[in-house]
Chains A and B, each alone.
Chain A
């Protein structure tokens, strides 16, 4: 009686209920995988967890994870650099913005995955093509948020900076850049999602040493335990990377909410 009411009181907290939902789903999966589904296709979560060390012991998997992580990191860094450059080049000049923003939006709206085979042809099947494809996804959100951020600076700030005798560089340094920071971090959060998508798409398409090679291998060997293990590790990596940029956005975006 008291146990039941204690449970009910615990579940009244949303986070506790959320955990309960996740545990329930894992339980359903466990039951389904153990008794109903062919073990060729699905393995229960307990096996997947138990086999995580085996996944890391598979020859080449730690190296593949490391390669994928580096591809993500390099693609993200390049996206920020290129997106920032293009965003500033286009955003600081009203005329350039009016001319080139529609082109950027048009390119952003096209499904880039159709040109994935081209990236492989130009950059080979190694990490270079994954990085390039990741950058092709990642720099758009940064460029666009930078343009929007620069555009949204109150004109009175620029005018008063000019009136107080600020040079062009001083205006950039003390007015434009500080106002750009929150939109830069918003762009970085969106870019991280996009880079993850681009790099993983390219990895899954063709790969000789990255994780794409192993997902194909485990799929073709009907080894769902290790496939799920590898996917969980990658999902965890994606969640951690997304969370880092999200925290950064919250942290650096705060001062702006006046």
Chain B
């Protein structure tokens, strides 16, 4: 009884510390822009940023860029997920193929693939195609590797037992392999989704014609700091919402 009370107190205390920390951060930011006269070209007033944030939400001017980014993300993830799962499944069907391809994929995955962005821009132009291609490439590897891990390391006993009870190939896949592999594949898909989102916003920042990353760069080049901060907050919020959604889908898919 007393112990749980202590625990609750402890949790409250750490919540209080967190809140104090964040409030202190915003207060410092506010003081820096008003009292200490940091140039608004470096740090805009938080109140102005907040106003611009609501302005962006109210006018809906973000819709065009958001649509571009989300379309790129959806296309990239669809390609990465379908190719990753198919390739991963084909590789996982034999020990030999797993031993050949797994280190190969892991090796390629350890190279920062963002390096190839200039090549992709050369091949696919500045438009959405180069972002989709890059996002698909970067998202492919975690999905394929996790699919291999999911299908490749199913307990042999389960497979043998199902076979001895007379399961067909389809039944084996549907009732043994898939349920065993699904949680790991879903984790791979969440990882692939996250890195695809990051690489798409990143490539929009580096070279693009439209999209949320492009909008932030555009505002930065115009030194419009307050709307830029507002857009950064907006993109961070969108990314957080997407990540939470994907994690929820993953958790739901894991449930048997």
B122 x A196 contact (CB < 8 A): no
* Residues in B197-248 with C-beta less than 8 Å from chain A: 197-198, 201-202, 205-206, 212-213, 216-217, 220-221, 228, 232, 235-236, 239-240, 243
Contact A103 B18 (CB under 8 A): yes
Within 8 A of B (CB), among A90-130: 95, 98-100, 102-103, 109-111, 113-118, 120-122
Within the complex, what minimum Cβ distance (angstroms) separates B215 from chain A?
10
Measured CB to CB, the residues of A under 8 A from B are 12, 14, 17-18, 21-22, 41-42, 95, 98-100, 102-103, 109-111, 113-118, 120-122, 193, 196-197, 200-201, 204-205, 215-216, 218-219, 222, 224, 227-228, 231, 234-235, 238-239, 242
11 contacts between A and B (CB under 8 A): A21-B104, A113-B198, A114-B213, A114-B232, A117-B220, A197-B112, A201-B114, A204-B117, A205-B206, A219-B122, A231-B118
Closest B residue to A195 by beta carbon equals B112
Q: Are A193 and B232 in contact (CB under 8 A)?
A: no
**What's the minimum C-beta distance from B144 to chain A, rounded to whole angstroms?**
14
Q: Determine if B213 and A238 form an interchain contact, defined as CB atoms under 8 angstroms apart.
A: no
Interchain CB contact under 8 A, A215 and B236:
no
Q: B residues engaging A (CB < 8 A)?
A: 10-11, 13-14, 17-18, 21-22, 42, 96, 99-101, 103-104, 107, 110-112, 114-119, 121-123, 197-198, 201-202, 205-206, 212-213, 216-217, 220-221, 228, 232, 235-236, 239-240, 243
Report whether B205 and A113 are in contact in the complex, using a CB–CB cutoff of 8 Å: yes
Are B239 and A111 touching (Cβ within 8 A)? yes
Please name the residue on chain B nearest to A111 by beta carbon: B239
Taking the closest CB of chain B, its distance from the CB of A197, in whole angstroms, is 5
Tell me whether A204 and B10 are in contact in the complex, defined as CB-CB below 8 angstroms, given that A117-B228, A196-B112 are known contacts: no
B65 to chain A, nearest CB (A): 12
A204 and B100 contact, Cβ closer than 8 Å, known pairs A117-B217, A193-B112, A239-B110: no
A215 and B235 contact, Cβ closer than 8 Å, known pairs A21-B104, A109-B240: no
Cβ 8 A contact of B118, one of A98, A103, A227: A227
Contact of B104 among A12, A22, A102, A114 (CB under 8 A): A22
What 10 pairs across the A-B complex have the smallest Cβ distances? A117-B220, A14-B99, A99-B14, A99-B17, A215-B118, A98-B14, A113-B202, A17-B100, A219-B118, A196-B112
Known: A111-B235, A117-B221. 7 other contacts (CB 8 A): A100-B18, A103-B21, A109-B243, A193-B110, A201-B205, A235-B112, A239-B111
